[in-house]
């Protein structure tokens, strides 16, 4: 481990530079793959004007990617967490099974008589004869059965790969059954081959939620400050911690899309005066469409990290503009920091100057840099699994992003202002006034601007690249997902799963940050790695290395 | 049925069970089983031809059970490839896998996508090999659309393809060489099968053997492909064995199994046996080992058997007359049913998501005392299993983590066995073969019943 001065001089620590590391990662690939991967791996040379990254491009076949599919993004991530919609997967058994409670998106029923449908995995379990003769009838019956048994408020249908290929019209079946049963029924054409990753599924999900749920219930919401939190999926209870803090401030959340949320809350959430966005990648479409139709402004927040949480709370208070709220937010921050401060003081004695790398999601690889920085740690390399250029370089690159064949296939809704409901709350005027005073709306600066100069940015990292990074730089901790967790740990580096939080969380807000600090401290300070070397294997030469290095020798 | 009749878990409490949808499936998809087998071949990389989501989901579940790296490649179809076919992706994928991993074998399994569009896998493999002058590692292919069969079928299918593709017809026999074709078992089971063979001075080829690849040690240096597994050479030489022990009750009645193939092509004697769990089935297993090796039961096993019988006698008072529900892969369920009936527990619900022909008949040959009171559910799902458990209220449930909601609802102990186990630690090393494995399983069953009795007793005595 290098000392702190060296760390400051060398953004990658004492190992090779980011450029050298990049070269070493690429050299194993065939030429064509080298060219393709080269565009997805950048040295952050000019953080203030980030270079163009080849994000959201097709995964190279045969690279062991961590990416999932469109179905996973649609059903698994965005719509799946809504507990009182009955979800039906139309397809053979695998997809429905794998998305059955496999994300840790927590939920609680609102009333004792309700059923939490997330306990359920409904699938049409298509068999060979359905593939040959079509599965629409099977789907129709499945919807009927689901209705007879549960009488849900809404049923949602998800298409898997074979459905699109054999030409089942799930939307026609949904329309027919909606008319017949008189409840809301809608489908998502989120076949796994659409788009290049789960990101396509997010977009498809946003479109469906917007078309079939948003704006259905105009019942006014009685609250002085009311907003929606978009792109927060309540992994490990994050949404509950955000809700706790906002409540303390006197701010009411109508809908959290879509962690721990109910169908009714989504149908009613256009009554909010503001949308704040956590995961920009998965839900920016919704924020944009709600603004176009209802005039609700949005901006990016980050409740991951102490500094991020404070900044986000202050920005929300400034948006509403009441002194009473602005003061209350400061009170809440001061109150919460009483518990946070001693923990930071304690853990930083062990974590300061340590190196982290983050390869996760479409927002967490950025957000968690804040938490590491709160503990005095440096992020030497980071990348998303399925994000787009704007998540790396900031939304200002949006006009220059070329629409490729894969993105063109995903529907862009033509949204117009609602003739009656647009701007009901006169938010536009307030928005304009704020913008004039330097307040950013519809903003996302992206990950690269925040990262240190000459660190590494790697999109959709492969196992091979990860292995090189560990070999050359030995980060003290890596935040990633289950698919590379054990690869990383086999190499003697602790890995924190940031998709599912392992079994921990929440990590959002103040209490969440405390959980995270303690967790990372535990991982970095663990003595378990020292046990990899048996005492009788030691010889005098390697003993000193063994004491210093947590990794067993080769 | 109205919502008032549903429980907090959302499973129907009573009434007719509808049939069109599968609610909480008791099966996984077939490529998962194939991938597990390919992980049990040395330096083999599993490759799924289709959308990348399949590889990702399967890796995700295998990793949460085994807690080890599981690399599965994918040809990552785009929408275009779904229309025009995946030949180009396949070729590029294989090239990339070779350059990154240098595998000794690539195990290709298909997906719903490539099967639905009718991609000709054999043709693609051939044209890839022709183009590369057959340089590079060999490829093997198994057809695994999830719309036919379950993960169990994918598992047996992959073993079958490996044997048929690589085992050379052989006449010369190597004394002491035996093939073992296990059912979908734990890593600890596979290790113990080897140990048992070695006690008889036999040298086994176990296919698959993922005991090290899916439960390895901490590594000094990183291995692109986890060390361990049965080598391609060993598979090629399976014909030189004197016998093949093929494990799995459902397999015993089948023709054209890989053991049958080896018998026909290389005169390797097929021993079709049930899962060696329980005294009766372990006796049969070691009898086969005796016959194959010509060696008598080793003293150590004799002692293990003795201790097991002693334990059966000691704990009979705790288990006799109890009832159980079992769910999981067909061969696992039959094995457990045989074991439980041997110790005096009635397996009143025996359920599998796979559609198994003559399921009740298969069970009846393994359950002592007839199957009049046994519900044999095949092609079923957890909604139906839960409904029957509510009705019959067994004392014990045996199956994967997916049995937790009903176990919690009814406060019935759930003994976790099979795949996947993602809410307890160590599912990959639950031992349930041989006398030793049976004793471990027996202790777990007895203690689960004791714990439940103690927890629900009014007095809560600590001396039972």
DSSP structure string for B215-239: S----SS--SS-S-SB-HHHHHTGG
- Known catalytic residue: A130? no
Does residue B328 form part of some domain? yes
| Cβ neighbours of B268 (radius 10 Å) | 25
Q: Is A543 on the interface with B (CB under 8 A)?
A: no
Residues B349 and B295 in one domain: no
B6 pLDDT higher than 70: no
Beta strands in B149-306 (DSSP E): 177-181, 203-206, 243-247, 269-273
Chain A residue numbers with beta carbons less than 8 Å from the beta carbon of B147 are 92, 126-128, 130-131, 162
Residues B208 and B237 in one domain: yes
Does residue B272 form part of some domain? yes
Residues B265 and B230 in one domain: yes
Chain A nearest-CA distance from B229, in A, is: 18
Closest-CA residue of chain B to A201: B53
CA dist A539 and B189 (Å) reads 36
What CATH number should be reported for the domain holding residue A142? Answer: 3.40.50.1980
* Number of domains present in the structure of chain A: 1
At residue A431, the pLDDT reads 83
DSSP code for A527: S
Does residue A178 form part of some domain? yes
B162 to A49, A356, B108: CA distances (angstroms): 54, 43, 11
Which of B233, B264, B299 is at the close of a domain? B299
Put residue B135 in one of left, alpha, beta given phi > 0 → left and psi -120 to 50 → alpha: beta
Residues B221 and B261 in one domain: yes
Lowest mean pLDDT among A13-17, A504-508, B193-197: A13-17
pLDDT tens-place string over residues A379-391: 999 999 999 999 9
Does residue A383 form part of some domain? no
pLDDT tens-place string over residues A320-354: 999 999 999 999 999 999 999 999 999 999 999 99
pLDDT tens-place string over residues A414-465: 999 999 999 877 677 788 889 998 899 999 999 999 999 999 999 999 888 9
Does residue A127 form part of some domain? yes
CA dist B358 and B27 (Å) reads 18
A171 pLDDT higher than 50: yes
- Percentage of residues of chain A with pLDDT beyond 70: 94
Contact between A30 and B97 using a beta-carbon 8 Å cutoff = no
- Which of A70, A131, A149 has its CB closest to that of B18? A149
Does residue A111 form part of some domain? yes
Mean pLDDT (whole number) for A281-294:
96
Buried b (16+ CB within 10 A) or exposed e, A484-520: bbbbbbbbbbbbbbbbbbbebbbbbbbbbbbbbbebb
Which of B267, B299, B331 is at the close of a domain? B299
A1 pLDDT higher than 50: no
Q: Give residue A2's pLDDT band: very low, low, confident or very high (50, 70, 90).
A: very low
What residues contact residue A166 under an 8 Å CB cut-off, 6+ apart? Answer: A131, A134, A135, B116
Does residue A167 form part of some domain? yes
A158 pLDDT higher than 90: yes
Mean pLDDT of chain A: 92
- Known catalytic residue: A341? no
Does residue B111 form part of some domain? yes
Residues B66 and B140 in one domain: yes
DSSP code for A375: T
A261 pLDDT higher than 50: yes
Lowest mean pLDDT among A477-481, B389-393, B415-419, B455-459: B455-459
What CATH number should be reported for the domain holding residue B249? Answer: 3.40.50.1980
Lowest mean pLDDT among A147-151, A304-308, B15-19, B458-462: B15-19
Residues B258 and B239 in one domain: yes
* Number of domains present in the structure of chain B: 3
A548 pLDDT higher than 70: no
Does residue B444 form part of some domain? yes
A551 pLDDT higher than 80: no
Mean pLDDT (whole number) for B63-83:
94
Mean pLDDT (whole number) for A311-325:
96
Find the domain containing B137 and state its range. 30-166
Does residue B314 form part of some domain? no
Residues B254 and B331 in one domain: no
Which of B246, B271, B299 is at the close of a domain? B299
Contact between B18 and A93 using a beta-carbon 8 Å cutoff = no
Helix axis angle, A463-473 to A18-26, nearest 10°: 140
Contact between A483 and B74 using a beta-carbon 8 Å cutoff = no
Lowest mean pLDDT among A62-71, A128-137, B393-402: A62-71
List the end-to-end C-alpha distance of chain A, in Å, as a whole number.
19
Q: Give residue A36's pLDDT band: very low, low, confident or very high (50, 70, 90).
A: very high
Does residue B230 form part of some domain? yes
A87 pLDDT higher than 90: yes
Does residue B83 form part of some domain? yes
A188 pLDDT higher than 60: yes
At residue A537, the pLDDT reads 66
Answer with the residue of higher pLDDT: B16 or B301.
Answer: B301
Does residue B359 form part of some domain? yes
At residue A4, the pLDDT reads 43
- Known catalytic residue: A280? no
Q: Is A464 on the interface with B (CB under 8 A)?
A: yes
pLDDT tens-place string over residues B74-111: 999 999 999 999 999 999 999 999 988 999 999 999 99
Residues B127 and B42 in one domain: yes
Chain A residue numbers with beta carbons less than 8 Å from the beta carbon of B405 are 119
Mean pLDDT (whole number) for A272-293:
97
Q: Give residue B16's pLDDT band: very low, low, confident or very high (50, 70, 90).
A: low
Cβ atoms A358, A447 nearer than 8 A: no
Find the domain containing A87 and state its range. 70-192
Question: What ipTM was estimated for this complex?
Answer: 0.93
Cα B174-B183-B70 angle, rounded to 5 deg: 100
Mean pLDDT (whole number) for A173-186:
98
B463 pLDDT higher than 90: no
Contact between A68 and B53 using a beta-carbon 8 Å cutoff = yes
B459 pLDDT higher than 90: no
Lowest mean pLDDT among A117-126, A483-492, B455-464: B455-464
Residues B364 and B416 in one domain: yes
What residues contact residue B4 under an 8 Å CB cut-off, 6+ apart? Answer: A113
Strands A274-277 and A298-300: parallel
Residues B186 and B158 in one domain: no
At residue B464, the pLDDT reads 77
B455 pLDDT higher than 80: yes
Chain A nearest-CA distance from B278, in A, is: 32
Nearest Cα to Cα of residue A259 among A280, A227, A228, A232: A232
Residues B289 and B235 in one domain: yes
B14 pLDDT higher than 90: no
């Amino acid at each position: 481990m290098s000392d702190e001065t060296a760390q400051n001089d060398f953004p990658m620590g004492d190992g090779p530079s980011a450029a050298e590391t990049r070269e070493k990662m690429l050299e194993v690939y065939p030429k064509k793959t080298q060219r393709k991967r080269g565009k997805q791996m950048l040295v952050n040379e000019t953080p203030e004007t980030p270079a163009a990254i080849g994000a959201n491009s097709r995964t190279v076949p045969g690279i062991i990617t961590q990416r999932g599919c469109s179905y996973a993004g649609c059903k698994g991530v965005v719509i799946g967490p809504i507990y009182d919609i009955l979800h039906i997967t139309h397809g053979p058994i695998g997809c429905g099974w794998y998305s059955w409670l496999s994300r840790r998106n927590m939920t609680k029923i609102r009333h004792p008589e309700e059923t939490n449908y997330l306990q359920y995995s409904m699938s049409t379990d298509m068999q060979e004869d359905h593939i040959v003769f079509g599965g629409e009838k099977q789907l129709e019956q499945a919807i009927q059965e689901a209705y007879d048994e549960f009488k849900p408020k809404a049923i949602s249908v998800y298409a898997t790969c074979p459905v699109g290929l054999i030409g089942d019209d799930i939307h026609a079946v949904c329309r027919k059954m909606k008319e017949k049963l008189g409840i809301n029924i809608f489908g998502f054409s989120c076949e796994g081959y659409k788009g290049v990753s789960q990101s396509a599924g997010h977009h498809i999900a946003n479109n469906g939620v917007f078309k079939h749920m948003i704006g259905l219930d105009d019942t006014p919401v009685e609250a002085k400050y009311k907003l929606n939190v978009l792109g927060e999926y309540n992994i490990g209870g994050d949404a509950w911690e955000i809700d706790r803090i906002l409540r303390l401030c006197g701010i009411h959340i109508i809908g959290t899309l879509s962690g721990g949320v109910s169908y009714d809350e989504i149908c009613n959430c256009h009554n909010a005066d503001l949308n704040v966005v956590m995961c920009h990648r998965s839900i920016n479409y919704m924020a944009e469409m709600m603004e176009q139709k209802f005039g609700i402004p949005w901006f990016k927040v980050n409740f991951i990290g102490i500094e991020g949480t404070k900044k986000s709370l202050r920005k929300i208070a400034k948006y509403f503009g009441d002194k009473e709220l602005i003061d209350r937010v400061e009170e809440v921050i001061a109150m919460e920091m009483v518990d946070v401060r001693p923990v930071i003081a304690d853990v930083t004695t062990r974590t300061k100057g340590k190196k982290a790398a983050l390869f996760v999601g479409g927002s967490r690889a950025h957000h968690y840099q804040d938490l590491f920085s709160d503990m005095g740690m440096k992020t030497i390399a980071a990348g998303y699994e399925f994000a787009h250029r704007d998540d790396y370089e900031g939304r200002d690159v949006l006009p220059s992003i070329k629409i490729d064949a894969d993105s063109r296939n995903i529907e862009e809704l033509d949204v117009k202002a609602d003739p009656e409901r647009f701007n009901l709350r006169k938010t536009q005027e307030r928005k304009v006034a704020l913008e004039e005073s330097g307040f950013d709306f519809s903003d996302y600066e992206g990950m690269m601007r925040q990262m240190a100069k000459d660190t590494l940015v790697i999109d959709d990292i492969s196992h091979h690249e990860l292995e090189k990074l560990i070999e050359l730089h030995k980060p003290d901790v890596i935040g990633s997902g289950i698919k590379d967790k054990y690869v990383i740990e086999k190499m003697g580096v602790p890995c924190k799963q940031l998709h599912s939080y392992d079994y921990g969380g929440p990590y959002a807000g103040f209490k969440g940050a405390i959980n995270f600090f303690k967790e990372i401290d535990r991982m970095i300070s663990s003595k378990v790695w020292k046990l990899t070397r048996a005492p009788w294997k030691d010889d005098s030469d390697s003993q000193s290395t063994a004491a210093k290095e947590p990794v067993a020798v080769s | 049925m109205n919502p008032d009749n549903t429980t907090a878990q959302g499973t129907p409490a009573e009434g007719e069970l509808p049939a069109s949808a599968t609610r909480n499936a008791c099966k996984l998809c077939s490529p998962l089983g194939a991938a597990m087998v390919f992980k049990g071949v040395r330096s083999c990389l599993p490759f799924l031809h289709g959308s990348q989501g399949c590889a990702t989901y399967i890796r995700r579940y295998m990793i949460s059970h085994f807690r080890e790296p599981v690399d599965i490649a994918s040809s990552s179809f785009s929408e275009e490839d779904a229309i025009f076919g995946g030949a180009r992706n396949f070729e590029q994928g294989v090239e990339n896998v070779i350059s990154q991993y240098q595998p000794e074998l690539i195990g290709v399994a298909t997906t719903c996508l490539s099967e639905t569009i009718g991609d000709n896998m054999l043709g693609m493999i051939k044209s890839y090999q022709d183009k590369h002058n057959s340089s590079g590692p060999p490829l093997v292919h198994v057809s695994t659309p999830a719309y036919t069969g379950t993960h169990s079928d994918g598992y047996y299918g992959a073993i079958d393809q490996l044997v048929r593709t690589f085992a050379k017809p052989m006449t010369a026999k190597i004394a002491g060489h035996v093939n073992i074709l296990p059912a979908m078992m734990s890593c600890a089971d596979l290790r113990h099968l080897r140990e048992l063979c070695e006690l008889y001075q036999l040298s086994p080829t176990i296919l698959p053997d993922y005991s090290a690849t899916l439960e390895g040690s901490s590594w000094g240096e990183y291995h692109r492909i986890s060390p361990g597994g049965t080598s391609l050479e060993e598979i090629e030489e399976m014909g030189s064995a004197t016998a093949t022990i093929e494990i799995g009750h459902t397999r015993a009645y089948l023709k054209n199994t890989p053991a049958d193939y080896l018998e026909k092509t290389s005169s390797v004697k097929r021993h079709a046996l049930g899962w060696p769990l329980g005294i009766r089935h372990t006796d049969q297993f070691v009898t086969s080992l005796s016959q194959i090796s010509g060696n008598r039961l080793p003293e150590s096993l004799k002692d293990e058997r003795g201790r097991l019988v002693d334990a059966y006698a000691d704990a009979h008072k705790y288990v006799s007359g109890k009832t159980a529900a079992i769910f999981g892969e067909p061969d696992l369920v039959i094995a457990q049913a045989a074991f439980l009936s041997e110790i005096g527990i009635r397996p009143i619900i025996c359920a599998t998501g796979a559609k198994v022909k003559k399921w009740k008949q298969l069970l009846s040959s393994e359950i002592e005392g007839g199957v009049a009171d046994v519900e044999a559910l095949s092609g079923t799902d957890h909604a139906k299993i839960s409904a029957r458990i509510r009705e019959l209220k067994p004392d014990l449930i045996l199956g994967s983590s997916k049995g937790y909601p009903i176990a919690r609802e009814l406060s019935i102990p759930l003994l976790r066995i099979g795949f996947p186990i993602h809410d307890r630690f160590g599912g990959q090393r639950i031992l349930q073969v041989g006398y030793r494995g049976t004793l471990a399983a027996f202790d777990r069953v007895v203690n689960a019943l004791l714990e439940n009795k103690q927890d629900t007793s009014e007095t809560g005595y600590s001396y039972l």
